[in-house]
Structure 1
């Protein structure tokens, strides 16, 4: 596969998982109880962050002459469906919502690590963009994990 085409595929995979992340945080926000304004604000911030990442990745794809994805991944849809089932049994409690958000953050962290694999032969600009976004993803994961840990 040509390097540019391979890079576009990698960037599109990141777009899909960021779209999954937006949908996941929107779903998690809805699953929280009425008094969870602080946590809903955090989820809104992370969803907005992924919308920005998606836009930046789309611009990078356009620069490479490709067409950006607009949807979510099949795995993301399955995760949200699982979240729905678990929420039915857990009653949307704060800890279970945070646990599921952390699982989602683990998945996006892995996707960013995989994207940076040297075998993907990313252009320097694309790799720099991904590393920059990865820092935000890692910080968000750490914040969600700390919030989850504080529930024990």
Structure 2
């Protein structure tokens, strides 16, 4: 039973970082200038991506007999990064928002790296889910980085 509890905790850590990511991007959508419709669309896509991740992770947690973490994190590990990012959006320009998002995406990658490196035995199907989600989030990270670099090159 302990293995399931440890596995549920690993998966709940990923639920939390995705919940933080959803909140961070929802805040970014609200704070981004109306002229930056491209960013609003990207941020919405990324929030939806994390919603799908949470749904997939929640199904695995439920199948293990665990209780799915709700809400976002407000202490511990790397989750504070998204909390800090959400606080920085107000009054910042496009470059600052993109830099903050990239930093948050780095935190998400770290959370997924931690999950894959855990001492807890990860069944093949769960390891595949985590690997697939990490790869999808890396594409989002790279897109944010590309937009940031393009913005810096133009300015």
Q: How does the TM-score come out when normalised to structure 2?
A: 0.89
In structure 2, do the counterparts of structure 1 residues 77 and 107 end up closer, same or farther at CA, with 3 Å as the change threshold?
Answer: closer
In structure 2, do the counterparts of structure 1 residues 64 and 39 end up closer, same or farther at CA, with 3 Å as the change threshold?
Answer: same
In structure 2, do the counterparts of structure 1 residues 83 and 19 end up closer, same or farther at CA, with 3 Å as the change threshold?
Answer: closer
Q: Is the aligned partner of 1:144 residue 2:105?
A: no
Superposition map of 1:1-152 within 5 A: 2-75=2-75, 76=79, 79-81=82-84, 83-84=86-87, 86-88=88-90, 91-152=91-152
* Aligned-partner Cα distance in 2 for 1:71–1:32: 23
- Please give the per-residue CA displacement for 1:105-142, whole angstroms capped at 9, x wherever unaligned: 00000000110015121122111111111111100000
* Aligned-partner Cα distance in 1 for 2:107–2:84: 16
Contact kept in structure 1, 2:21 and 2:82, CA below 8 Å = no
Task: State the SS of the aligned residue for 1:70.
Answer: coil
Count of residues paired in the alignment: 149
Q: Which has the higher contact order (CA 8 A, sep 6+)?
A: 1
Q: Which runs of 5+ in 1 are unaligned?
A: none
Superposed displacement of residue 82, structure 1: 5.3
In structure 2, do the counterparts of structure 1 residues 87 and 52 end up closer, same or farther at CA, with 3 Å as the change threshold?
Answer: closer
Q: Which runs of 5+ in 2 are unaligned?
A: none
Q: How does the TM-score come out when normalised to structure 1?
A: 0.91
How well do the aligned residues superpose, as a CA RMSD in angstroms?
Answer: 1.7
